[in-house]
Structure 1
Amino acid sequence: MAGFLDRAKEQAQRGLTQGKQKIDDAQAQRAGGDLLKKLGAAYLAERRGTGSPQVTQQALQALENHIATHGDSFLRS
C-alpha cells in the first residue's frame, strides 16, 4: 500500500510541476506579446512625430532582453 501511495504522490508532484511550467510559459508568451505591442506603439509614435527614438530604443531593448531570457516563440503564435 505504501508503494502505491508513493507512486501516486510522485505522479501528483510531476503533474504540479508540469502545470506550473505551462503557466510560466503562458505568462512569458503574454509578456512577450505585450512588449511587442509597446515596441509597435513606440515606433508608430516616433514615425508620427509624437514619440522619441529613445522610447523606441528602450522598448526594443526590453523586447530583446525578454527574448534572450524566454526565447522568441511568442513571435510565431
Structure 2
Amino acid sequence: MSTISSQFRERVEAFLAASEFKPTEFGRQATGDPTFVLNLRRGRSPTLATVDKVLAFIAEMEADPSRCSPNRKAA
C-alpha cells in the first residue's frame, strides 16, 4: 500500500522527469527552498500547506508547458 508521502514524492519525481527543471530550481521556485527535493528524497515530511503549494505549482506549470524551462521564473 502506497502512503500519501510516497505518492507526493512520486508526483514530484514524475514532474521533474517530464520537465526541464533541476531539483534545486524546482525547490527554489515551488517553495523558496532549493534543498526541498533533496530533503524530500531523504525522508522529509512537508506540511500540508507546503504540499498544497507544490501541487499548485506543478499544476500551473503543466497548464502552460512553455513555463517548464529552468531559465524562466515562476509568476
Q: Tell whether the structures are fold-level matches, with TM greater than 0.5.
A: no
Higher helix share: 1
Q: TM-score, normalised by structure 1?
A: 0.31
Give the structure with higher Rg (CA). 1
Q: TM-score, normalised by structure 2?
A: 0.32
